Amino acid sequence: MNRVPLYVINNFLKFDRKIYQLFGLQLGRPIRLKSVFYFFFFGAVELLWYFTPGLGVLLHWIPAGILFAVPVTLAWLLSDIGTENRSPVSYFRSFIGFHCRRLERVTYFKGRKMRKPKTFAVDVVCTYKEPRKKKHRFTPSMYAFKGYTTYK
The ranges assigned to domains in the chain are 18-115
Residue 86 vs residue 120, higher pLDDT: 86
Q: pLDDT value at position 152?
A: 46
Backbone conformation region of residue 25, classed left if phi is above 0, alpha if psi is from -120 to 50, else beta: beta
Strand residues in 17-139 grouped as ranges (E) = 18-22, 25-32, 106-109, 112-115, 122-124
Q: How many residues does the chain have?
A: 152
The one-letter amino acid code at 26 reads Q
Q: At how many degrees (to 10) do helices 64-80 and 33-50 cross?
A: 140
Say how far apart CA 83 and CA 44 lie, in whole Å: 24
Q: Is the pTM of this model over 0.95?
A: no
**30-75 pLDDT, tens per residue?**
888 888 899 999 999 999 999 998 888 888 888 999 999 999 998 8
